[in-house]
Structure 1
């Protein structure tokens, strides 16, 4: 042993070696840390809520809108949970479930939240309304509704990679119809750190009533989320242009972002065609002065930027343009929203007196008076009070007319708005995404409707750096068209009726395959799922009852204002659409199918009668505009159910005999995934002389009625 070690002793030597080992371990972690962070897979989670069946006045589109957004998020790799028609307890529990899920998902998580239904603003905060809310007075709002800022702050505090919160809830509402009304629409807010917040209508404005099946905002947002390679900000900017186009200028969406880092819903492959509107992505488009555009392009350039300065530049350059009146209304709403936001943040009697002096009949007059009453201050300010300084100047006289009312519509007939020209800086929508077929009605309690899926183009692909969600049929098959149980194949896999559209083919196949239809449904939040199970156990009939949704809510005179071009007439009901020859062809019977005993392909293994039932389930929905009741669903129906009449069971054996009379070449057996083998059941033989008594409620069997 060396003299140095002899002096130090054995224990000291061991301590030195332990210290050296610890240093080496820490150095290895320091080297591996950045590599692991760089290779970390992004996890995507989403919560989607659509409230339609309000006791105070039903809405026709939010549940369908939520189903459409949920399906689009699934295609983009999100693990989605969602529900429809939640009461206050169910809504609070669903939000709590999602916060727990986001907290457990880790720092590499992107969270997306979509809330569709009625939204209210009260004293500077936004509230989302459950279906059982009873709001007779403004002071009932904090008790009966859910304050959104409480949820968004909790979500931002988790400090995941980022969060996106969308409120599709700015609608004229039937609540608090008194002499002290609420301000219309949603209140201007600021996004929390690393968060984007979006509204379906600009702060202080409301969207026009819509008959369905989908709202303009959900339709436009789903379209833009499916475009490959768009940064997050561009998705919502393009959504604003499309919403304006779809609503003829009656609705202008809004968003505010502090989202950090790059994010795309879907990527654009190298084989993608050239961009149709290259000027939109030009770097000079956002920096070019508004006055340097021509009249038409200047309006859309200002709408794309959606800033107060951009709109004011448009008026300075083109004060006599047909769009000038609409732009003045946009500026008026934005200026008032900013003024009220700064008033609410200051929250002093001097601030509320300053607001009332600037807007003596503005939308937030009663909010200001309620706050003055809270401070026990007089409504009239003292002569010497100091007016607070706002970041925006007072409104000029031409603007006051637009905000001297609680609710501002961008299609108000009193102002004679001119409809905007055809949209520029934006490519036309895909042909199969212009008119979307209505979804089949949900028969399970709280379950979102499952819209027919429109495949995305081949060059649009999921991002490579995301963790694929489990059991996501849509994500694994975003380019395909036909659903067979839990597998989606190209539409050449099985014969289909030539008169059916892609959407109808998908719906028919999903209805035939009960397990596949179940896989397409969005999972319920855990607490909502438990509550649904309790209700089904206590009252099976109530668990499958679908609330009726009227096209236009009753008892809401402010919701019946006309859209531009309708000359004061109300919107037509959902089922009053015109029948086209192409839709009539969808009612023709399907051609003969392969023999019923073929088990190589799930679709060809289904009975011909099931194909006929699928065609009947899809064609009438396209013709009448109202969803048809599905013949076969994957829901668990009531145990005490009446068997299906014999007249509905007879065609199956007859068509089976016809198919057996014409033998066809059997296709080569295809390997089936384990999930399909477990879900698939052997075909049951049904004697033609006596219809069988079918049981109901199991996967793949019809629902009980």
Structure 2
């Protein structure tokens, strides 16, 4: 009996453990990525960062990452978007894998690296901490979260064009030490700057994407191969760098069981990495040292081949690495003795002015005293032949002053050739909206390359599910439900950041961070005519209302009305009324306009001035025969206007108009000024009421003013012959008066009058 109890207890434990393991397996690994590509800097547009960010983001999508990304972001947007991303990472749990990629301008200042937003203005070195985003402010909170793997890539070591200063900044990026479970990678070695590519993609981004797409590559091997490929395609001008403290196994893609064997076996790769540098010939010794990328490996090459053509290039690499290590240890100690020790080794080194600025903060002497305690560095002092390479702020490995020999081709035993379809990539289409990353043409992956099966698929999984079928990705077929034929989850809808795009087309794009989605929507509403282009498939079926399928320009977020398929012209942001289906003409100040009405020109008077009559309208038709409406000053006026001209008009007020009677040209009636100071004449009415007569309201219109035109007698409408409009089919005009607040008169000052919203001037 006791044995049976033990057996049952053991069975229950096994079931519980298996259930727990199954639940953990079912949960899977969540992959999250944050990608930024800044190119539109005020000092000059960079050619590749936005495209590079789009390429990396697309590759991460294929590998199962839930990617948010943007281009050309300012500091506030970058900080806010990253803060939201960290909240997303925190909610993902302890098995999350995080990838952060920043492409653009980077700079180091006093031991810290900074990434420049597009609104950064660097006039002197002291502006860097204020205008830029410190990279450690991004990595430290990420390292504090319980994630599985954190990968941070700075594709930002580029030449800058900051104003020349007597206290220059060190070039490139500063050597850093990654946090646990983190890998940090630079596109160029610490203290060096990579040449700016001409596009469409930078050498580093394209090489990194190539290696990420290869199945089964561990992180260390992946970044080692990236370094070799970049050095190969740039002919030695760029040497990437990385440092890792990741212990958990990780691959971007799995390699299927039926995949062909790799050209370089794992056993052969390990043997090459443990083999002494001197045991290679000079050609392979250089590649082996570059593959290891350690100070000892480069020094071993110089010991074995001091007079080889690559010796000068290797010496420059050593010089930059030794100086970067020396400065890193100096900055970590942060004492006067440490900064004096650095200046003793590198009196004109890249960080000489950083050391002096720190000494000022510590209120110490700027130059080393005759005697002090020299700190012990992990690297020996530089030999004299190295000083020439670090005796100025920045080092370029393609500097013609040093006459570097280009490196030899890399043998297959170290680096297989790139896939033929990935050697030259087509440029991406222009971005579809504000902040949106470019969308590269997707290159299909080999059939034996698959995303890992134990990960949580990203929400918009069209790329993730179709890495071998680019027809769905590059030429998305959208049906009437806005769903792709393959890979698109049901129920996906449009977002504010992709107006007019189908859900499938949206799924192939990198999602904007929520903060930037809101800002993009706001900016699209503020800029007239700025709308996200429609996809070709939806253009004819879901075109915005307009002429011949074209979108209308926007005013205050609303589209303009159409006349004969064309939008009305604007004056001071308002549309003109119509006469016979054509825009009426008025002066630039719109003085002749009321809330409703048309404007027609009459015959010239004795002084050669054109006379314009204001014809009120209701519901788009001339008002006549007893219909009334308010004018723009809120006064009731008759709505039938006679075409009777003759003699100099008398003066009368809107009060006289409201009193009733017909206005005729015989000169009778009181002469009064109206509230706009214009001369009008009022004669006894015959209609017996305020709505029964004819009113001739005449305004002078000076010839030669902007936009002034005179309609000919043929074009001028004849309203006397028009029948009485039928209003029973249209609702009566509803005029809503607006409350006006008159300015308070200040004691001792002459009252202001005669302008809109102000009292009538009295004479």
Q: TM-score, normalised by structure 1?
A: 0.70
| 1:180 and 2:150 matched | no
SS of the residue aligned with 2:184?
strand
Aligned to 2:462: 473
Structural mapping, 1:601-612, within 5 Å: none
One of 434, 451, 455 as aligned partner of 2:440: 451
SS in structure 1 opposite 2:114?
strand
Matches within 5 A, 1:294-693: 294-424=281-411, 425-483=414-472, 484-485=476-477, 486-487=483-484, 515-541=503-529, 640=559
Any conservation in 2 of the 1:532–1:543 contact (CA below 8 Å)? no
Secondary structure class of the residue paired with 1:49: strand
4+ residue segments displaced more than 6 Å: 24-31, 636-639
**Equivalent pair of 1:267/1:462 in contact (CA under 8 Å):** yes
In structure 2, runs of 5+ residues without a counterpart are 1-10, 478-482, 488-499, 542-548, 566-763
State which of 40, 47, 53 in structure 2 corresponds to 1:60: 47
| Contact persistence 2:74–2:118 (CA under 8 A) | yes
Match for 2:69 among 71, 79, 82? 82
Which whole-Å CA distance do the structure 1 matches of 2:306 and 2:258 have between them?
A: 45
When residues 444 and 37 of structure 1 are mapped into structure 2, their CA distance, relative to the original with a 3 A threshold, is: same
Alignment counterpart, residue 120 of structure 2, candidates 119, 133, 140: 133
1:239 aligns with 2:226: yes
SS at 2:120 equivalent:
coil
Corresponding residue for 2:718? none
Does the 8 Å CA contact 2:158/2:172 hold for their aligned counterparts? yes
Partner of 1:566: none
**Are 1:72 and 2:69 matched, yes or no?**
no
CA distance in 2, matches of 1:480, 1:394: 56
Give the structure, 1 or 2, with the largest relative contact order (CA under 8 Å, sep 6 or more). 1
Aligned to 1:97, the other structure's residue is in SS state helix
> What's the secondary structure of 1:286's corresponding residue?
helix
The Cα shift of 1:383 comes to 2.5
- Residues in 2 aligned to 1:403 and 1:134: alpha-carbon distance in whole angstroms: 27
Flag the 1:284–1:374 CA change in 2: closer, same or farther, 3 A: same
Gap change, CA 1:606 and 1:514, over 3 Å in 2: closer
* 8 Å contact from structure 2 (residues 27, 456) kept in 1: no
Is the Cα–Cα contact under 8 Å of residues 480 and 488 in structure 1 kept in the other structure? no
Contact 2:462 2:486 in 1 (8 A): no
Deviation of the 1:295 alpha carbon: 1.1
* d(CA) in 1 for partners of 2:54, 2:168: 32
Residue 528 of structure 1: how far off its partner (Å): 1.0
Which residue matches 2:760? Answer: none
Cα distance, 1:519 vs structure 2: 2.2
- Do the aligned partners of 2:344 and 2:368 also contact (CA within 8 Å) in 1? no
- Give the alignment partner of residue 194 of structure 1, picking from 177, 181, 185: 181
> For the structure 1 residues 103 and 382, does the alpha-carbon distance in structure 2 shift closer, same or farther, using more than 3 Å as the test?
same
Pair 1:143–1:35, CA change in 2 (3 A): same
Partner of 1:47: 34
Conserved in 2, the CA contact under 8 Å of 1:138 and 1:176?
no
Distance in 2, matches of 1:287 and 1:642, equals: 76
Structure 1 residues 349, 27: closer, same or farther in 2, change over 3 A? farther
1:458-503 per-position Cα deviation (integer Å, ceiling 9, x unaligned) = 000111111111122110100012133353779xxxxxxxxxxxxx
User: How many angstroms apart in 2 are the aligned matches of 1:231 and 1:445?
Assistant: 36
Could you tell me whether the CA contact under 8 Å between 2:47 and 2:196 is conserved in 1?
no
Give the helix-richer structure, 1 or 2: 1
Q: For the residues of structure 1 that align with 2:538 and 2:173, how far apart are their CA atoms?
A: 50
**Aligned partners of 1:540 and 1:639 also within 8 Å:** no
Distance (whole Å) between structure 2 residues aligned to residue 354 and residue 340 of structure 1:
10
Structure 1, gaps ≥5 residues long: 1-23, 491-511, 546-601, 611-630, 647-705
Number of residue-to-residue matches in the alignment? 523
Contact 2:428 2:438 in 1 (8 A): yes
Distance in 1 (CA, whole Å) between partners of 2:267 and 2:68 is 34
Secondary structure in 2 matching 1:284: helix
Matched-pair contact (CA < 8 Å) for 1:171–1:208 = yes
**Does the residue aligned with 1:475 lie in a helix, a strand or coil?**
coil
| Residues 57 and 606 of structure 1, relative CA distance in 2, 3 Å threshold | closer
Could you say which structure has the larger radius of gyration?
A: 2
Q: CA deviation at 1:362?
A: 0.4
Deviation at 1:269, TM superposition (A): 0.6
What is the alpha-carbon root mean square deviation over aligned residues? 3.1
Change (3 A) 1:640 1:296: farther
**Closer/same/farther in 2, CA of residues 61 and 639 from structure 1, 3 Å limit:** farther
Partner of 1:215: 202
Q: 1:462 to 1:303 in 2, by over 3 A?
A: same
Name the CA shift for 1:463/1:257 in 2 (closer, same or farther; >3 Å). Answer: same
**Cα distance in 2 for residues equivalent to 1:233 and 1:641:** 59
Cα distance, 1:380 vs. partner? 2.3
